[in-house]
Amino acid sequence: MSDSPSFSQLGLSESLVHALSNMGFTTPTPVQAACIPALLEGRDVLGEAQTGTGKTGAFGLPLIDLMDAGKRAPQALVLAPTRELANQVAGALTEFAREFSGIDVLPVYGGQPMGEQLRALRKGPQIVVGTPGRVVDHIKRGTLNLDALRVVVLDEADEMLRMGFVEEIEWILEQTPEARQTTLFSATMPAPIRRIAHRHMREPEEIKIGAGNEAGTDIDQSYCLVDARHKVEALTRLMETEEDLDGAVVFARTKASTVEIADSLGQAGIAASALNGDMEQGERERVVSDLRDGRLDVIVATDVAARGIDVPRISHVFNFDAPGDAEVYVHRIGRTGRAGRKGRAILFLEPRKRRMLKDIERLTGKPVREQPVPDRQAVQARRETRFAERVQALLGSEQNSGHEALVDRLLTDSGVSERELATALVALATAGSPLDANSTKGADPLLAAARAPYSERGDNRRDSKPRGERPSRGKDREPEADMVRYYMPVGRNNGVAPGAIVGALANEGGLNGRDIGRIGLRDDHSHVDLPASLDEAAIRRLGNIHIANRKLELTLQAPRPGQAANQDDARKPAPRKTAKPRSDKPETSARAKPTSKPTPAKRGPAPGNGKRPAYAAAPGKRPVRKGTSGPKNTGSRADGTLMIKRKAANG
């Protein structure tokens, strides 16, 4: 007999327990069993739990019981990082409140018509679920009144931190009543999240639950060693040969990659669509709906866009681009293996990134087995099997009747045997999608890569330190075989450090830190080695990133000695002061301690919504030029260290 308590034993009302029973929920998850009693008693809760653990029920069920249905005013505010997650949470809370007449749940986020939100807010919903940017907007407009607020929930706080919403969250919390109850859930607990908890929560009860799905208990995990040039071909082959593949999510690093991969899958006859932040909200919702209803089989998504996707038919998750860390990997594979179903997660690894497996296995507690990419013979065998199954299904069916006379005529007119005629008909039926996977000329590139000796794969060329953290010393070495050297018109005179270049390319450009090769700094320019697999469009996107208020403008041509890397720099001297950021938000030093920040006054000014540069030099710092006195070089923490500011993607 299970020792788990029932929902009624947790202190929930009979009406809510009855609603849960009608929804098929009988036993709470561990995070629900731990959080619900504490929240019903009015205590603050700091929960460390990942996707798939039942977090929404953990804070949502007591939230419903605490609401006053007769009071038409916002009594609870739930902040979520993305529109998809806000919609998902609002939908779950609405289901929980089914037995309670008069309790309304309203999602608010960017991309929705403002007029509709204003009309809905005037009706006084008790629960508002929103993204930080849009919630700030409504508070500033005076359309979201928080005077009656009793509960605030921060869901997936670490993701909101990663997306740059910390200032908005701090400001929102400062506008809420001091007597409120605060709940914070996060998959990890980095220092900024703990600072928010200590500043805005009252002796919170800390609850830590294992990863979603017990870190992949119901998910079969494997990895394929694939060179970047052959990833699309490998993905297509796996989708053709994987058993029991129903719906799938493919994770890509950049928005542009989602479109490119989806187009390639479409050309291979696979019903796929991109899902990224550049799409209108209505279009994104349609894509998820099409996957749920079977009109699509594959979604190719970025990590942010995939947040909140909960589609039962997702059987496979493909990590086309390796995640930045093991925790992101666990979030990704949590899209499958839900509600007792089995799932499959396949990770594409370039040979030089195998060390990531140790981090993943340490976090999930499960081995990730190596899986070879199917060869052409395996693909052909699978195609022939599917074709044979279709033929068998037609034999004896009504669709098969009525063609006997035509078959007899073909046999008579052609004078061939039945076997020869059947062979010709098979060739005709498969003309648009040939069964022969070996029709492509030349050796199989994926097979050749799989057979390469370990030493040729590049795994023994690295030490444990990520390549982007190692600036070159002395004479610059040539880029490695799979890398290309690019030059940038920023250097030491602009106060640029190697860490700033890595941060810009990783955070704004979507590159993994391990994709960034050797970095060399000069007074007026720098160079960086990037993967040869990047296409021209990707290089153009990276070239538009700003560091120290200058575009990277990546070029293959090294500037001549004493000449700036672009013509503008050659014609005019570098400015002595860093240009002011385009944001109206005050800048703070990247090295300033959090405690040195003055506490904003109650109802202080909201954070500005103006567009701000992703990277700006720390205020008050001037480049240290040759021949002038200044502090000694301290590596990546030298004067001129750049502050990283992420754009708010949803709001």
Of the given ranges (150-164, 179-193, 229-243, 455-469), which has the lowest mean pLDDT? Answer: 455-469
The tally of CA atoms less than 13 A away on the side-chain side of residue 155 is 29
The arithmetic mean of pLDDT across residues 329-348, rounded, is: 83
The arithmetic mean of pLDDT across residues 196-202, rounded, is: 91
Q: How many residues does the chain have?
A: 651
The arithmetic mean of pLDDT across residues 367-373, rounded, is: 91
DSSP label of 623: -
Query: CA-CA distance, 491 to 35, in Å (whole number)?
Result: 51
Closest to 160 in 3D by CA, of 90, 87, 80: 80
Closest to 643 in 3D by CA, of 507, 525, 538: 507
Which residue ranges form the domains of the chain, and what is each CATH number? 8-210 (3.40.50.300), 215-375 (3.40.50.300), 377-395+404-439 (no CATH), 467-644 (3.30.70.330)
B/e letters for 254-280, b = 16+ CB within 10 Å, e = fewer, are bbbbbbbbbebbeebebebbbbbbebe
Query: CA-CA distance, 364 to 102, in Å (whole number)?
Result: 43
Residue 26, pLDDT score: 73
Q: Which tokens in the block code for residue 153?
A: 């929930």
Closest to 48 in 3D by CA, of 66, 26, 30: 30
Cα of 402 vs its chain's centroid, Å: 53
Residue 540, pLDDT score: 85
Contacting residues for 25 by C-beta, under 8 A, at least 6 apart = 7, 57
Of the given ranges (74-83, 131-140, 196-205, 388-397), which has the lowest mean pLDDT? Answer: 388-397
Residue 340, pLDDT score: 63
Q: Tokens 């006084």 — which residue?
A: 124
Residue 596, pLDDT score: 43
Query: CA-CA distance, 584 to 103, in Å (whole number)?
Result: 39
DSSP string of 52-89, one letter each residue:
TS-HHHHHHHHHHHH--TT--S--EEEE-SSHHHHHHH
3-state secondary structure of 293: helix
Q: For the packed helices 404-414 and 418-429, what is the interaxial angle rounded to 10 degrees?
A: 110
For 444, phi then psi, to 5°, come to -75, 110
Q: What is the per-residue pLDDT across 213-229, written as a single tens digit (0 to 9) for each?
A: 444 457 899 999 988 88
* Sign of the four-CA dihedral 594, 595, 596, 597: positive
Q: Which tokens in the block code for residue 186?
A: 């996060």
Angle at the Cα of 198 from the Cα atoms of 192 and 201, rounded to 5 degrees: 120
Query: CA-CA distance, 578 to 550, in Å (whole number)?
Result: 10
The tally of CA atoms less than 13 A away on the side-chain side of residue 527 is 19
Q: What is the per-residue pLDDT across 126-176, written as a single tens digit (0 to 9) for each?
A: 999 999 999 999 999 999 999 999 999 999 888 888 788 888 999 999 999
Identity of the residue numbered 50:
Q
Q: Which tokens in the block code for residue 559?
A: 């500037």
Which of 418 and 205 is assigned the larger pLDDT?
A: 205
Rg (C-alpha) for the chain, rounded Å, is 28
Query: CA-CA distance, 458 to 397, in Å (whole number)?
Result: 56
pTM over 0.85: no
Query: How far are the Cα atoms of 81, 197, 450 from residue 210, in angstroms, in the given order?
Result: 21, 20, 35
Contacting residues for 66 by C-beta, under 8 A, at least 6 apart = 40, 75, 76, 150, 151
Residue 259, pLDDT score: 92
Q: Which tokens in the block code for residue 52?
A: 């798939």
Query: CA-CA distance, 399 to 388, in Å (whole number)?
Result: 16
Q: Tokens 């681009």 — which residue?
A: 321
Cα of first residue to Cα of last residue in the chain, in angstroms, is 47
80, 135 contact by CB (below 8 A): no
Q: Bridge partners of 79?
A: 130, 154
B/e letters for 503-521, b = 16+ CB within 10 Å, e = fewer, are bbbbbbbbbbbbbbbbbbb
Q: What is the per-residue pLDDT across 568-613, written as a single tens digit (0 to 9) for each?
A: 443 344 344 444 444 444 444 333 444 444 444 444 444 444 433 3
DSSP label of 514: G
- Dmax (CA) for the chain in angstroms is 99
Of the given ranges (194-208, 447-461, 524-538), which has the lowest mean pLDDT? Answer: 447-461
- Beta-carbon count within 10 A of 37 CB: 17
